[in-house]
Amino acid sequence: MPGPPCPPAVRRRLAAALAFAALAGGAAACGTAASPPRATRTADTTADTTAGYPAPRRPVSDIVAPRWTDERVRDRQGEAARVFAHLALAPGMAVADIGAGDGYYVARLVPLLGDSGVIYGQDVRDDYLDLLRDRARRAGWRTVRIVLGTEDDARLPASAVDVALMIHMYHEIAQPFALLARLATSMRPGGRLAILDRDAPTDAHGTPIALLNCELRAVGYEPVSRIDMEPGEYLAVFRAPPTAPAPQDIAERLRAGRCG
């Protein structure tokens, strides 16, 4: 079945993503009757994930490309600048870009955080990280650490991160509860997680804001602020819990909250 029509701003982005996805052998997220069907993965809902963390009871979007859309378009819209200003990022901070892809945010974090800052460019796709490694090598970045994670573990160092970014990728995380719980152990006290996504179904490369809040609360993340970005997009900021909640506590909160 084809997906629903997309709003104009989303169509522009998806045209770019689709062009890249076609090159990469991927698939589109939503579109007209002529476009490919929505491509989704369904997490294993019949069994718990490793270490007993619950799986999401909703579709998960396919990974289709190492970037959201054209970097010049994003800069014209002031995307990264607005995100950084809202988060009050400053030199010396440690920022993790989870799902960094080929590094749109990493490239803009390097000059902002300066020589005393640290940027973790993290992803689950080593071929996408190769693009980031190549970019880092050509630019001579010294403050960037490349991290290959798994679907259920970002594999960042313990107590190392002031701010974690998840930009246009939350809907692609196949095991969000395990990943978020383990991420809490990588955050410094008071560390924040900032999620930018479309307010759209998870099988159409977005995450409805109510679903996002419900899932994050289930893992103990507290909402801090939210701003609108481009039409139909939000940036939502959460405070990470001081310790990783136990899998059974997450499952209990999910039962009570009925996310999705």
Binding site residues, ligand SAM, CB under 6 A: 63, 65-68, 98-101, 104, 123-125, 128, 149, 151, 167-169, 172-173, 179
Residue whose structure tokens are 């139909």: 232
Q: Is 152 helix (H, G, I), strand (E, B) or coil?
A: coil
Closest to ligand SAM by CB, 161 or 167: 167
Closest to ligand SAM by CB, 49 or 213: 49
Nearest-approach distance from CB 53 to ligand SAM, in angstroms: 13
Give dist(CA 96, CA 50) in Å, integer. 24
Closest to ligand SAM by CB, 198 or 253: 198
- Decide if 118 contacts 145 (C-beta within 8 A): yes
Nearest-approach distance from CB 221 to ligand SAM, in angstroms: 16
Residue nearest to ligand SAM (CB): 99
Nearest-approach distance from CB 256 to ligand SAM, in angstroms: 25
Smallest CA-to-CA distance from 58 within 37, 41, 78, 83 is with: 41
Nearest-approach distance from CB 196 to ligand SAM, in angstroms: 8
Closest to ligand SAM by CB, 104 or 254: 104
Q: Which amino acid is at 16?
A: A
Smallest CA-to-CA distance from 217 within 175, 257, 164, 166 is with: 257
Closest to ligand SAM by CB, 123 or 162: 123
Give dist(CA 9, CA 247) in Å, integer. 38
User: CA angle 162-227-156, nearest 5°?
Assistant: 25
Nearest-approach distance from CB 109 to ligand SAM, in angstroms: 12
